[in-house]
């Protein structure tokens, strides 16, 4: 499992699913729509190991392209969590 933070979200990747992924669509989408933060390591898995923590925070554009590409063209291994301040309280009031 790979997990890293960008400015206001957390990206979680089940890298075991990368082993059978033929497209590596996540990295292509990151390169095309963002700044190429996400790469593929020598084992064929999604990785940010080629960047240091400061670069990950600086280069992350929070575009969500990797998640969508993985879901539609890959193995559905990426989940992006975006906390929304006050959402839980709002939802509790609606019940």
For residue 78, the domain's CATH number is 3.30.70.20
Cα Rg for the chain, rounded, in angstroms?
Answer: 14
| Maximum Cα–Cα distance across the chain | 49
Helices and strands: H and E segment counts in the chain: 4, 5
How is residue 17 annotated by DSSP?
Answer: G
Note the pLDDT of residue 49.
96
Q: What is the pTM of this model?
A: 0.88
Range(s) of the domain holding residue 71: 1-91
Percent of the chain with pLDDT over 70: 100
For the segment 9-37, the average pLDDT, to the nearest whole number, is: 97
Report the distance separating Cα 46 and Cα 29, nearest Å.
12
């Amino acid at each position: 499992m790979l997990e890293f933070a960008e400015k206001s979200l957390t990206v979680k990747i089940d890298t075991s699913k990368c082993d059978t992924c033929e497209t590596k669509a996540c990295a292509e989408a990151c390169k095309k729509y963002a700044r190429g933060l996400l790469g593929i390591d020598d084992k064929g898995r999604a990785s940010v190991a080629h960047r240091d923590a400061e670069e990950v925070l600086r280069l992350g554009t929070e575009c969500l392209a990797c998640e969508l590409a993985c879901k539609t063209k890959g193995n559905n291994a990426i989940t992006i969590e975006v906390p929304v301040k006050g959402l839980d309280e709002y939802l509790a009031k609606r019940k």
